[in-house]
Amino acid sequence: MMSTVGSQPANRFSDPEFQNWLKVARSLLVLRDGLGEFTKQEIDSFHQILKQNPPPCGKCIEGKKNAPKKPKAQPCTDCQPWIEGITKVHCNKGGIYWNNSSTANWATNAWELAKLYMGKGQTPGNKGPHKTDCAGLLTLISQCKLFKSKLNTSLKPIQNVSYASIWT
């Protein structure tokens, strides 16, 4: 039976394309670790500012089962400064994924705030930057105004990209 380089585990490591994928994977881990420290420091500082307010009650962000959560029209006096602080530094006020985060943990876990600036679908298991992928960290940086003064460039989405040209 004839085999290709990629079909045998021992031979895979000598395949240049596979070696390239390993380099890319390793680079993404290095990137995540670097971004993780940076994002953690900024979110921890933001959390300290919000913690000067009373802890949120945890009941002012609501939604029916399997429906998006959103703040009540009139949140309580404990939740109001937290919600205002979060929305004030969010670049997409209509696109905050409140379901990403547990309101009950806002006062004790800064990363619960960070998840509000990430894409849809962050899980309870995402307890910090070490559990967040590069896409989540980059979305956090691009959607949270706290990072704007730290960047030399804009992270606006690139439009009209021909992805086919990337792979050829």
Residue 96 has a CB neighbour count (10 Å cut-off) of 22
What is the band of 165 on the pLDDT scale with cuts at 50, 70, 90? very low
Percent with pLDDT over 90 in the chain: 48
CB–CB of 134/32 below 8 Å?
yes
How do the domains of the chain map onto residue ranges?
Answer: 25-151
Tens digit of each residue's pLDDT (9 = 90 or more) over 56-87: 998 888 776 666 788 888 899 999 999 999 99
**How far out from the chain centre does Cα 150 lie?**
17
**Residue 45 CB partners (closer than 8 Å, separation 6+):** 146
The span from the CA of 28 to the CA of 34, in Å, is 10
